[in-house]
Chains A and B, each alone.
Chain A
Amino acid sequence: MGFPHKSHPKETPVLSTHFGDPEARSLSGWRARGGYRALEQALGMSPADIVNVVKDSGLRGRGGAGFPTGLKWSFMKPGDGKPHYLCCNADESEPGTFKDREIMRWTPHALIEGCAIASYAIGAETCYIYIRGEFTEPLRTVGAALDEAYRDGILGKSAMGTGKRIDLYIHKGAGAYICGEETALMNSIEGRRGNPRIKPPFPAVAGVFGQPTTINNVETLAAVPHILTNGAEWYKKMSSSSPKSTGTKLFSVCGNIARPGNYEVVMGFPFREFLHDMCGGARPGHTLKAVIPGGSSVPIQTMPEAEATLMDYEGFVANGSMLGSGGVIVFDDSVCMVRMIARLARFYAHESCAQCTQCREGTAWVTKIMERIERGGGTMHDLDTLLELSENMTGKTICVLSDSCAAPVVSGIQKFRHEFEAHITGKRCPMRSAAAA
């Protein structure tokens, strides 16, 4: 549902059904809403059967990369004699994205149930839920829910009395966007600086503590109990376009929009209707100008591109962007695109872990040039320099933070070049002068 707003009739609430309902937070409240039946069911199945159901459902990672979840789980080899680990990525820090926060603060047991099922399916006895340090409320609610689950015997040495050990622990982050990158997250759990690791080896071979590890996003794991309860076919049917994108997806909507919030729709929902109807469209007296549909790391869409998009993995790519994390950032005509992109560049410069030269130097350099243009001190040559820099920052580093900084810059120059040129030729921000007048 469009929390904090009422559910829109065209939404399909699955994960968000109980957002805003404080009673769903407690174990008794969760049980009353059907909770932990899926885990009970799962513990009676073979791990391989669970993996197959998730494979068949078509569920793909909701953190940004969209990797098929069941396939990822199948990389964990049973009986290899090594300890297996599950990591839940709750380091939600991608600008524009705030869906995992709502899952954790309203339905913490949904996440715990998903983590427990996944742990069992991949043969992991230990799962770390890595929650960013700034998420004080989710840390409290998930912490309290874990205590309840342990007290009730759902977790621990003998999960639900089955003799299977499933331990879930919260690992609290300490302020670092990059720790949302899977291998940086693992380093951070190990007590290291959050530098991403070179891959291969991939986590399924050598992840946290050098052992086979699966890492999934909060939203991905929270979907698993529903898939087990209702079946793969049910999940697969929730798609109105591509067979490669199934189920529902939470979209966080923010920026210059009438009703910001979290909306849950089936994959393939028309983005035009989503923006203008479900989210209420532009604020009175304004028109929408641009959308960053998948968190700040994906290319910016013009309104014609956005309005032609069907909201799934393929649909966003076909229209100049990516689904990413589903963090929809909307800009209207009150906003200077150059200023917004400069601020995003500053974000990436601040968050670069600085181990790769292209990223460490590139993000800082891009920020410097973007801020110079925004102040009115840029030249036309700067635009070429930015594009050249971005080229050198893309596909050349250990992780994609560098690429993520380049994406809004390149798409911004391509699609909103006139705003850049207006700053350069007018030697000031035209929006600021308009505001001052």
Chain B
Amino acid sequence: MGAVHAESHAGHGGAGHPHREEYRPVFTGAVRAELDSVMTRYPTKMAALLPALWMVQRERGWVSEDAMTEVAQVLDLTPAYVKGVVTFYTMYHQHPVGRYFIQVCTTSPCGACGAEDVVRAFLEHTGTRELGVTSPDGKFTVIEVECLGACGFATPVMVNDEFHESVTPDRVADILSKLE
């Protein structure tokens, strides 16, 4: 899963690591205000954890350990607790992924309608070749995903937040050609 990028972001703080980028906090200014507003919806601070992690991913593309530490500080949790939650949910990226994160549903109903061929077409046309591996230009990551809840529109494919219905192998090149 894009492991090549992961190492440089591990650990805490910037001091003593001259080659390491300074961590830029996510929850400042408007994003902090957004989180404060979300917190009013719940009787506990902890309940804002999933929304806070979504904001991190929106701002940074993935959820680094430094970001987990920041979220923990903001919500009065421990970094270990936050990591425990992050690792439970499949949609939080724990490593950087391609600019276009492509999820192809392969659960049985789609599997019965040829989802495996759709996966093959994406691996081929993106040049990623392997599931979970980011293409050399950093553009694409393709994964198989469990039931996307659109079984009557087999095969559903998500490209970042865009949902494509009834994808067949012959539509794959066209879908990809529209991505910058």
Q: A94-B147, A133-B91 are in contact. Are A252 and B113 (CB under 8 A)?
A: no
- Contact partner of B148 (CB less than 8 A), chosen from A134, A339, A340, is A134
Segment from B10-18, B19-27, B82-90 that makes contact with A:
B82-90
Bound Cα distance A132, B148 (Å): 9
The one of A4, A96, A175 in contact with B89, judged by C-beta atoms closer than 8 angstroms, is A175
Closest B residue by C-beta to A177: B146
Nearest B residue to A136 via CB reads B161
Q: B54 near A343 (CB under 8 angstroms)? A: no
Task: Please give, as numbers and ranges, the residues of chain B lying within 8 Å of A193 by CB-CB distance.
Answer: 84-85, 88
A169: interface (CB < 8 Å)? yes
- Taken residue by residue from 231 to 265, chain A's Cβ proximity to chain B (1 for < 8 Å, 0 otherwise) reads as 00000000000000000000011111000111000
User: Contacts of A260 on B, CB cut-off 8 Å?
Assistant: 151-154
Please tell me which one of the listed residues A132, A190, A252, A335 contacts residue B151 in the complex, with CB atoms under 8 A apart. A252
Does B167 count as interface, using CB distance less than 8 angstroms?
A: no
Q: How far is the CA of A177 from the CA of B151 in the complex (A)?
A: 15
Q: How far is the CA of A177 from the CA of B146 in the complex (A)?
A: 9
Q: Give the residues in chain A near B150, CB-CB below 8 Å.
A: 98, 101
* B48 on interface, CB distance cutoff 8 Å: yes
B44 at the interface (CB under 8 A from A): yes
**Complex-state Cα separation, A134 to B146, whole angstroms:** 10
| Residues of A that sit less than 8 Å from B by CB | 4, 83, 92-98, 100-101, 126, 132-137, 167, 169, 171-177, 188-194, 209, 252-256, 260-262, 296, 327, 329, 331, 335, 339-341, 343-344, 347, 350-351, 353
A sample of 28 inter-chain contacts (CB < 8 A) reads A95-B109, A96-B151, A98-B149, A98-B152, A132-B149, A133-B89, A134-B103, A134-B149, A171-B50, A171-B51, A172-B50, A172-B51, A174-B90, A175-B89, A176-B88, A177-B146, A177-B147, A255-B112, A255-B154, A256-B113, A260-B153, A329-B108, A329-B151, A340-B111, A343-B108, A343-B111, A347-B147, A351-B146
B interface, CB within 8 angstroms of A: 41-44, 46-51, 53-54, 75, 77, 84-85, 88-92, 103, 106-109, 111-113, 145-154, 158, 161-163
